[in-house]
Amino acid sequence: MFTAIATKEGREQALDEVNTLRETANSKRTSESLWHTWCEVMQSWDRPPMPLDVEKVGFMAASLRAGRYRSAEPYFNRARIEHIRRFDKSPGPAVLDAIRQYARAVERGTGPSRLKDALQLQEIEDYIELPTATELYTGDMQEALWPAGLVVLGSWWMTRSIEATAARVRHVTVNEAKTTVAWCLPASKTDTKALSATRTHRCHCGADQSSAQAHRHKNCPYHVMYDNIQLIAKVFSMNLQDEAFLDMPLFPTKSGLVLSHAASVRAIRAVAVKAGIPTTRTIDTTVLEKFGEHAPRVSGAQFFAAVLSWELYLIQLYGRWGSLAVARYVQDAPLARASSASKGVSIEDVMEMLKLTNPDEDIRKEINAIKRQLAEQRDEISFQAITDKAQAETRLALTRQQPRDETHEANHRRC
């Protein structure tokens, strides 16, 4: 069982391997970014980043608060870990107590977190056009080949930016006979390349490939995906059956490379600009960017809730949410209409969209689990409302009783 570590070389190799797996590439980048910010702030205060002490915790908290950051804990935790690595001991109880106090100070008065911004697909529908030759062959070649395609398809499949940029043409199956398109996606945000969930959409406009472009619905998921794949083949002069084509990014740059995270966000904002939608908001005197990497995912969730009247549990299941976080994204949608959603989306539709091996058993198991979550959440809300009401009535009764008690006490003193 342990023959691999029977030799010194084997033990060293095993140790090196497990050490490299202690942090993922994403967590390493996050850690580096947090540490870079810490060092930058300490330099502004003319202090060395280490050792960690109460004064430096206060400096960091003041800087984060001034910069309108909503949380300080990630920065404090990163500095604490760095202190332990360098000095092989904890910063001490005084520093840990300061971290707790300053973390609360940074968060105090910031209010609830802002919801992620979404694009309304109805508002950008008139701007879902294939790029012109000028757009394709001029400008920065590291930008998205077809920004509108990225936004529309990302919304219909409710993808995160990292999922869209990691997708390949081979992950999509187009069925021209049935006018359906299936996209093999990660099951969760920590599973970006395992590709363990397939989601399918049908044509929403009833037009076939021979129909004039004008007769197609510009927001049709089938035709936009079909056009996106054809565009890649045409621009880069590739055969649809070639392995090289199947390995092409589903949303490439103009030069045919993998789209960067920053470029995907710029593509989303470019579509908003083209549609005349503001891409910034001003809070006091601070200008903030709108439409980040989750914009298509949130846009799709709101579209399904408000326009297609899908029920919340179905949006959560189809969008691969592992929690009820999706409820926050669709809270502005007219969810009162969702109760009739099952009339528009049958169980057979769900089975086809989710491509389940054993549809009857699997789909009902997942749906029932999500419904239980929603029911528990509603029960918690109802219980809290009842508790709050009871407490309010108790306070009111005590308030009304207080004058009588004071009168009784005064009379007792006179006696």
Indicate whether 299 pLDDT > 70.
yes
pLDDT of residue 405: 46
pLDDT of residue 344: 47
Question: What are the tens digits of pLDDT across the range 252-290?
Answer: 999 999 999 889 999 999 999 999 999 888 766 767 788
Query: What residue spans define the domains of the chain?
Result: 17-107, 121-274
Alpha-carbon gap, residue 58 to 337, rounded angstroms: 50
Question: What are the tens digits of pLDDT across the range 344-365?
Answer: 455 555 555 555 544 455 556 6
Beta partners for residue 200, in sequence order: 182
Question: What are the tens digits of pLDDT across the range 201-236?
Answer: 999 886 555 554 545 568 899 999 999 999 999 999
132 or 330, higher pLDDT: 132
383 or 228, higher pLDDT: 228
pLDDT of residue 212: 47
User: Is omega for the bond preceding 51 within 30 degrees of 0, making it cis?
Assistant: yes
C-alpha to C-alpha distances, 20 to 17, 26, 79, 97, 348, nearest whole angstrom = 5, 13, 21, 33, 45
Cβ atoms within 10 Å, residue 393: 10
Non-local (6+) Cβ contacts of 363 within 8 A are: 347, 350, 351, 354, 356
Residue range 90-113: mean pLDDT, rounded: 87
Non-local (6+) Cβ contacts of 146 within 8 A are: 130, 131, 228, 231, 251
Residue range 311-330: mean pLDDT, rounded: 83
Q: Using pLDDT thresholds of 50, 70 and 90, give the confidence band for residue 406.
A: very low
